[in-house]
Structure 1
Amino acid sequence: MADSSYLTWPFFEDRHRQFHDILTDWCAANGDSLHVESGDVNADCQALANLLGNAGILAHAVPEAFGGTGAGLDVRTLCLARETLGYHSGLADFVMAMQGLGTGAISLFGHDSVRHAYLPKVASGELIAGFALSEKKAGSDVAAMETTARRVDGGWRIDGEKTWISNGPIAGLLTVFARTGEKQEGARGISAFVLPTDTVGFSVTEIIDVIAPHPLATIRFDGCVVPDDHLIGEIGQGFKIAMATLDTFRPTVGAAALGFARRATDEALKRAKDRILFGAPLADMQLTQAALADMALGNDTSALLVYRAAWAKDSGKVRITREAAMAKLYATETAQATIDKAVQLFGGAGVVSGNMVERLYREVRALRIYEGASEVQKVIIARAALAEAGR
C-alpha cells in the first residue's frame, strides 16, 4: 500500500481525503478489471472508460453543471485520481487523464450549448475525448501550426493534419486548435474548436505504436465543418486557451508520475526485504538502502510540488504556469529515476516482460515528453525566474 501520510498536509480538505480513501478501496476491489489486457488497446480503453464512468470517477473531470462533480475542475481531486489510478494501472490513469484534458478547454471556455451536449457523455464514459494540438512541424513550437479554420456559412471549415494525438483512433470528440489568422501572427492567430469525429471529412490516417501501448494516431481534417457555437472562447485566443488548459492538467501529469513512482518504491521495498543475497536480505546492503532513500525523498518532494501547484490553482490563482512546470518537470524526471532504481534492484527479473517494474519503466517515459517536454518546462521556469528578477 502506497504511503498516504501526505494527505495530512494543509493542501488538502476532508473531501480530498475521503475521495482518496474511496478511490483507493475501489481500485483494490477492481484490480482485475483495471489490468485488462485483451491485446486490443482501443477496446481496453473503451472498457476502462465504461468502468470508470459507471463508478463515477470520470465525473471528476467534468463540472457538476454538465454531468460531473464540483463547481469547476478541482485540480487536487484530479491529481489524487491520477496518482491513485497510476499506482494501480497506467492505462486507467491514461483514460482518466484524456477525458479531462480532451474536454478541459470546453469545461473552462466552451459555450453552454456545447457543454450540455457533450460533457455528460464524457463523464459517463460513453464519449471518448481527445486533445488535438500537435503537428509534425508544430510540437513544442505551437506557432508553427499549419491546420487552418476559416469561416463558412453557419460555422467553420477545418483543414489540416494533427499527429501524436492520444485517443486519436477512438475519440468521439476532439478539442482542435487551428490557425484562423495569418501565419506571421504566430500564436496569436490560433483558435480552438470542438469537433465531433463523426464530422464529414475527419479521418485517422496512421496508427502510431509506442513502447507502452496507448491509442495514438495521426488524424486529418478535409473540409470538416463545425457550427459557430463549436468555437471555444474568442477568435485568436486558442493559444491562451491551450496554456490555461495545460496549467490545469500539467500538475496531474506529475501526479501520475508520482503514482508510478510510489508503486515502483513499494515493489522495490518488497523485493529488498524478500530477496536473499549472500546469506542476507538485499535490504541489508547500504547501496540498497541508499537507493530506497532516494526513492522516498523523491516521492515526498514530488508530492510537495504537485500538490502545491494544485492547491494554488484551486485557491484562485489565475495562472500557475511556473508552479505547474516545476511539478511536471520534477515529478516526471524523478519518477523515471525511481523506476530505474527499482528495475536495478530486481536485476534480471526487472526487465522481464510483464514484471510490474518493467511495465512502469515503459509507461513513465512518455510523461517526460507529452504536455510539454522537460526541456520546455525548464525554459518556462527560467523565464519566470528572469521575469521576477526584472521586476
Structure 2
Amino acid sequence: MTVFSLDAAQHAWCAELRTLAAERLAPLAEKGEPGRVNRPLVAELGRLGLLARLFTSGALDLCLMRESLAHVCTEAETALALQGLGAYPVHAYGTPAQRADWLPRVSDGTAVAAFALSEPAAGSDAAALTLRADRSAPHPGGPSAGSPSGAAERAGSGAGDTGTLAEADGAGRWRLTGEKCWISNAPEADFYTVFARTTPGAGARGVTAFLVPADRPGLDGAPLDMLSPHPIGTLTFDAVPVTADDVLGAPDRGFRVAMGTLNLFRPSVGAFAVGMAAAALEATLAHTSRREAFGGKLKDLQTVAHQVAEMALRTEAARLMVYAAAAAYDEGAPDVPRRAAMAKLLATETAQYVVDAAVQLHGARALRRGHLLEHLYREVRAPRVYEGASEVQRAVIAKELYARREEQ
C-alpha cells in the first residue's frame, strides 16, 4: 500500500464506517442537543470499538476514521475526535496510574475528555498562555514528586526528561489560577488536559501539562453559544489544586505534550474537512444530475460541469496530502510538523471552498435549516481556526522551510 492508493481492506473498512455512521450513529446524533455533549453518542462510539482504536491505530487509520464518519455524520466524527484530542496526552505522556484510571473509561465512552490549551488572550500564540500554576506548600503525608506514584512512576513511563521545577519543589504541588476559553467539551467533560505556566517569562519552555478531573475544587466553567454546533465553553480555575501525580510528561515540558498531540491530530482535522467536502460534492452531483434548468439538466451547463470538476479536483488533492502527512507521521519522518500543517491548511481551505460552491449550485434550498449543506456550511468554518488557524499553519510551514534550508 502507498499513501496514494488505499488497499481493498481499507476501502472496505471505510465503507463499513459510513454504514455504521448512517445506521447507528446518525440517529443518536439527531437526538442530541446542539452545544451539549451527546453522551449516548459517545457511548455508542465506545460500544463500536472506535474510541479504543484511537489509542491503537496510527495516524492514517485515524484519518480514515474521521473522514468516513464526517462523510455521513459530523457529530459522530467530532465526538470521536474530541475524545482523542483530550485523552491522547494521557495515552502518550501519562503515568501507568493515569492511563489505567482514565483510558478504559474514555475507550468505552463513559468518560468525556477535553484538551484545554486556548485562553482569551492566547489562542494562536499558544506559548503566551497565562494560566498560572503557583507552587504551594506541601501537606504532611501528601503525594510528592519523589513518591512511587509521582516522579518515580513517570520515570518508568517513557514520558520524557526530568523537570527541574519538581526538584525545586520536593512536594510537587501547585494551584491553578486563571481562565481557559474555546475549549471543546467544556464545561461538561469529566477530565481536562490542561496547560499552565509553571515558570513565568520562559515562553514555551515554562509550560506544564496537567490531568485535571472535573470535580477538583475551584474548577468551574460555562458553555459558549457558537456557530459550530459542537459543545464548547470556558473554564475558570480558582486555586485549583494539582500535584506531581497530575503532571503529564514532565514539569516545564508541557509544550512538547501539546505539539506532539497537535502534530498527530492536525492531519486528521484535514481528514474531517475532506469528509465534509466529499459529502458536499456527492450532494452536488446528485442535485445537478436531476435538476432541470434552461431546457436541460444543470450538469449539462458547461459552467456547472467545470465547477463540479474543480470541486472534485481540490477534494482529491486535499485527501492525498492528508494521507501523505499521516503516513509520514506513522513512519516517524523528520518533517511531520511541515506536512501536518500543509495537510490541515489545504484540506480545511478546500472544504470551505467546496461547501460554499455546493451551496451556490443548490441555490436557496441549501440555506434552509435542516438541509445537509446548511449543516455543513456551519460545520466547515471552525476547522480553519481551531488547532492552529490557517495563518498559523502558513507560519509553521515557512519556519520549517527556512530551518531546513539553513541545515543544508
Fold equivalence (TM over 0.5) = yes
Q: 1:42 to 1:257 in 2, by over 3 A?
A: same
1:309/1:324 contact within 8 Å kept: yes
Runs of 4+ in 1 over 4 A off after TM superposition: 7-15
**1:366 is the counterpart of 2:359:** no
| Higher alpha-carbon Rg | 2
Q: Give the Cα separation in 1 of the matches to 2:7 and 2:304.
A: 36
State the Cα distance separating 1:60 from its structure 2 match. Answer: 1.4
What residue number does 2:180 align with? 162
The one of 109, 113, 117 equivalent to 1:129 is 113
**1:346 is the counterpart of 2:339:** no
Query: In structure 2, the residue corresponding to 1:42 is in which secondary structure?
Result: coil
State the Cα distance separating 1:120 from its structure 2 match. Answer: 0.7
1:166/1:214 contact within 8 Å kept: yes
What residue number does 2:24 align with? 30
TM-score by length of 2: 0.87
Task: Give CA deviations for 1:302-341 in whole Å, capped at 9, x if unaligned.
Answer: 1111000111111123661000000000000000000001
Query: Superposed, which structure 2 residues align to 1:56-205 within 5 Å?
Result: 56-62=49-55, 70=56, 73-152=57-136, 153=138, 154=143, 155-182=173-200, 184-204=201-221
Q: Give the Cα separation in 1 of the matches to 2:353 and 2:307.
A: 10
Query: In structure 1, the residue corresponding to 2:36 is in which secondary structure?
Result: helix
Q: Give the Cα separation in 2 of the matches to 1:22 and 1:8.
A: 21
State the Cα distance separating 1:224 from its structure 2 match. Answer: 1.4
State the Cα distance separating 1:240 from its structure 2 match. Answer: 1.5
Q: Give the Cα separation in 2 of the matches to 1:253 and 1:214.
A: 15
What residue number does 2:168 align with? none
Letter in 1 for 2:277: A
State the Cα distance separating 1:149 from its structure 2 match. Answer: 1.4
Query: In structure 2, the residue corresponding to 1:225 is in which secondary structure?
Result: strand
Query: Superposed, which structure 2 residues align to 1:242-253 within 5 Å?
Result: 242-253=258-269
2:127/2:203 contact within 8 Å kept: yes
Q: Give the Cα separation in 1 of the matches to 2:42 and 2:340.
A: 26
Q: Give the Cα separation in 2 of the matches to 1:215 and 1:74.
A: 26
Q: Give the Cα separation in 2 of the matches to 1:56 and 1:188.
A: 37
Query: In structure 1, the residue corresponding to 2:176 is in which secondary structure?
Result: strand
Q: 1:89 to 1:232 in 2, by over 3 A?
A: same
State the Cα distance separating 1:140 from its structure 2 match. Answer: 1.0
Q: Give the Cα separation in 1 of the matches to 2:65 and 2:242.
A: 33
Letter in 2 for 1:263: A
Q: Which runs of 5+ in 2 are unaligned?
A: 144-172
What residue number does 1:384 align with? 400
What residue number does 1:281 align with? 297
Give identity over the alignment, percent: 41
Letter in 1 for 2:220: S
State the Cα distance separating 1:111 from its structure 2 match. Answer: 0.8
Q: 1:9 to 1:381 in 2, by over 3 A?
A: closer
Q: Give the Cα separation in 1 of the matches to 2:302 and 2:111.
A: 51
Q: Which moved more, 1:299-308 or 1:24-33?
A: 24-33
State the Cα distance separating 1:20 from its structure 2 match. Answer: 2.0
Q: Which runs of 5+ in 1 are unaligned?
A: 1-6, 63-69
Task: Give CA deviations for 1:63-121 in whole Å, capped at 9, x if unaligned.
Answer: xxxxxxx3xx5111111111111111111111011000001111111111101100110
TM-score by length of 1: 0.91
Letter in 2 for 1:192: A
Report the number of matched residues: 373
1:247/1:319 contact within 8 Å kept: no
RMSD, matched Cα: 1.8
What residue number does 2:39 align with? 46
State the Cα distance separating 1:15 from its structure 2 match. Answer: 5.7
**1:310 is the counterpart of 2:326:** yes
Q: Give the Cα separation in 1 of the matches to 2:289 and 2:4.
A: 33
